[in-house]
Amino acid sequence: MSVSAHQPVLDKALREPVRRDRQDHMVIWGGRALILVGFLGIWQFASGRLVDRDFISSPLDVARAWWALAENGTLVDEGLHTAGEFVAGYFLGAITGVVAAVLLTWRGFAYRVAEPYLFVFYSLPKLALAPLIGLWFGLGASPKIVLAAVVTCLLVIINLVAGIRAVKPDLLGVMQIMGAGKLQAYRQLIIPFSIPYVLTALRFGIPFSMIAVILAEFIGSYHGLGHVIAEQAAFLNVDTMMALVVTLAAFVAVFRLMLLPLERWVSRHHL
């Protein structure tokens, strides 16, 4: 029997994984949408019936408050401040973390010496660090960027070092036998192998960096969504506070979605 006779079967077999992948994505996104709609429905029903509306507001009131913030320009003006601080701190921390992890693992003893200090520093409550960083860097954007960078940097260091140390010694031995130097081993084996670990750190760094920025804006700032939330809390304006929280959640979700193409590319080329 000729190959052409089997071609329809082969084509179907090749298309089947793609079809299943699309179905899985539809189920996942459908489930996410269902959870969101269910949450909003329960929230709207409970507001004023099961729980005092002054404490939890309601989706409709939050939507009205959000639109009012958008109309008067507060959402854009203050949101740009927070977004700029977050993006600057996030990327500064990511780049610094990658460089620091490579330097710490270049010589094995360096990370062993620094490891307890890294974990102790990472375990420190960011609420305790924020006032000190604000005192050192002032009330502008600098303390927010620094705090977000510190959080992201430590996450990247810890994860990337774990990835580098997970490389099998046998593979490194083969490269050394083939005459590869340390720089070549890092470039061709260690860093590509560790990229998924970096992506994990970047994924979790998004919410942690945003928390750091908002925390710093709570404590000392004249601008930013965190500053506006702190102001509205003084007047118990729950509608506006919830609208700003929803905006922050949406920003984190969008930034997380922006990482998906990079994750897919890595899964195709490195895994």
Indicate the helix (H) or strand (E) that contains 150.
Answer: helix 142-165
Residue 51 in 3-state DSSP?
Answer: strand
Lowest mean pLDDT among 5-14, 94-103, 137-146, 217-226: 5-14
Rounded Cα–Cα distance for residues 111 and 124 (Å): 19
Dihedral angle computed from the Cα positions of residues 59, 62, 64 and 66, in that order, rounded to the nearest 10 degrees = -130
The pTM of the whole model exceeds 0.85? no
Confidence at residue 92, expressed as pLDDT on a 0 to 100 scale:
95
Domain ranges across the chain: 1-46, 54-269
Give the list of residues 6+ apart from residue 131 with CB closer than 8 angstroms, or none. Answer: 219, 220
The CATH class for the domain spanning 54-269 reads mainly alpha
Give the list of residues 6+ apart from residue 230 with CB closer than 8 angstroms, or none. Answer: 217, 218
Q: What is the pLDDT of residues 224-239, one digit of tens each?
A: 999 999 999 888 899 9
Confidence at residue 62, expressed as pLDDT on a 0 to 100 scale:
93
Tell me the average pLDDT across 69-93.
92
Lowest mean pLDDT among 34-38, 80-84, 122-126: 122-126
| Extended strands (E) in 111-267 | none
